[in-house]
Amino acid sequence: MVSLQFITHQTDRYTCFESALMALEGGCKWIQLRMKEAPCEEVEAVALQLKPLCKEKEAILILDDHVELARKLEVDGVHLGKKDMPIDEARQLLGESFIIGGTANTFEDVVQHYRAGADYLGIGPFRFTTTKKNLSPVLGLEGYTAILSQMKEANIELPVVAIGGITYEDIPAILETGVNGIALSGTILRAEDPAEETRRILESY
Ligand SMILES: Cc1ncc(COP(=O)(O)OP(=O)(O)O)c(N)n1
Ligand SMILES: Cc1ncsc1CCOP(=O)(O)O
Ligand SMILES: [Mg+2]
């Protein structure tokens, strides 16, 4: 079964919380609570609601950006990008038991996160997406192939999650490049039944 990280998103139809519930209902075992526009208190309230539900379903819960909150709420980890707290600083604060993911768009980003002690890499975007503003350059399949081959050459062994504009049909070719998992948001939330779409993805790949 493909390793799937679901990225929460608020849409016309769903709140971030509802989006996470549907992914969990569909069998997703890894939720990233990403509430870009929300104040910290709101993220905290949603995370507090989500934490027991993830626990019940044996799903990992990580927060996008909010290191201090992840520590306070004792969720499983955080995902950090270029504009967030540096990974080595987050590691100091969180210790070894928290999962820390780092965003990479180039091999240089990979090396930096590897040295800083990241547990996994979110590499993207695969293609253009409206889920995130200020996107880095699109990588396509070639981008993943190139970065993964540079990682192999440099003996950098870190799980890689592909992200950004990925749809159901893209998944086999992306996995063929050697990535370890995928992160999805829009393709699940645009489906008529997002829980069913999550299940379809997990049962197909
Ligand atoms: C799995 C995964 N990969 C990349 C990102 C992007 O993180 P970041 O660059 O910090 O951008 P924002 O998500 O904070 O807008 C991610 N969240 N998850
Ligand atoms: C958070 C993030 N980082 C790079 S692309 C992206 C959005 C992923 O969502 P979608 O699957 O809808 O493109
Ligand atoms: Mg971020």
Is 84 marked as a binding-site residue?
yes
- Assign 7 a pLDDT band (cuts: 50, 70, 90): very high
Listed residues: CB within 5 A of ion ligand 3:
65, 81, 84
For the chain, what is the mean pLDDT? 98
- pLDDT one-digit tens code per residue, 83-102: 999 999 999 999 999 999 99
- pLDDT one-digit tens code per residue, 146-177: 999 999 999 999 999 999 999 999 999 999 99
Query: What is the whole-number distance in angstroms between the Cα of residue 11 and the centre of ligand 1?
Result: 18
Mutation test of ligand 1: which of 79, 119, 123 has the most ligand atoms closer than 8 Å to its C-beta? 79
Domain residues for 144?
A: 2-201
- Assign 2 a pLDDT band (cuts: 50, 70, 90): very high
Burial of residue 80 (CB within 10 Å: 0-12, 13-18, 19+) is buried
- Measured CA to CA, the distance from residue 129 to residue 168 in angstroms comes to 15
Task: Work out the average pLDDT over 7-26.
Answer: 98
Is 129 marked as a binding-site residue?
yes
Query: What is the whole-number distance in angstroms between the Cα of residue 188 and the centre of ligand 2?
Result: 12
Domains: count for the chain: 1
- Supply the pLDDT for residue 15: 98
- Assign 132 a pLDDT band (cuts: 50, 70, 90): very high
CATH number, domain of 144, equals 3.20.20.70
Residues of the chain with pLDDT > 70: what percent? Answer: 100
Kindly give the number of the ligand 2 atom that is closest to the alpha carbon of 183. Answer: 11
Task: Work out the average pLDDT over 134-142.
Answer: 98
Secondary structure (H, E, C), the chain: CCEEEEECCCCCCCCHHHHHHHHHHCCCCEEEECCCCCCHHHHHHHHHHHHHHHHHCCCEEEEECCHHHHHHHCCCEEEECCCCCCHHHHHHHHCCCCEEEEEECCHHHHHHHHHHCCCEEEECCCCCCCCCCCCCCCCHHHHHHHHHHHHHHCCCCCCEEEECCCCHHHHHHHHHCCCCEEEECHHHHCCCCHHHHHHHHHHHC
- Assign 183 a pLDDT band (cuts: 50, 70, 90): very high
- Supply the pLDDT for residue 170: 98
- pLDDT one-digit tens code per residue, 70-83: 999 999 999 999 99
- Complex prediction ipTM: 0.99
Query: What is the whole-number distance in angstroms between the Cα of residue 183 and the centre of ligand 1?
Result: 10
Task: Work out the average pLDDT over 45-61.
Answer: 98
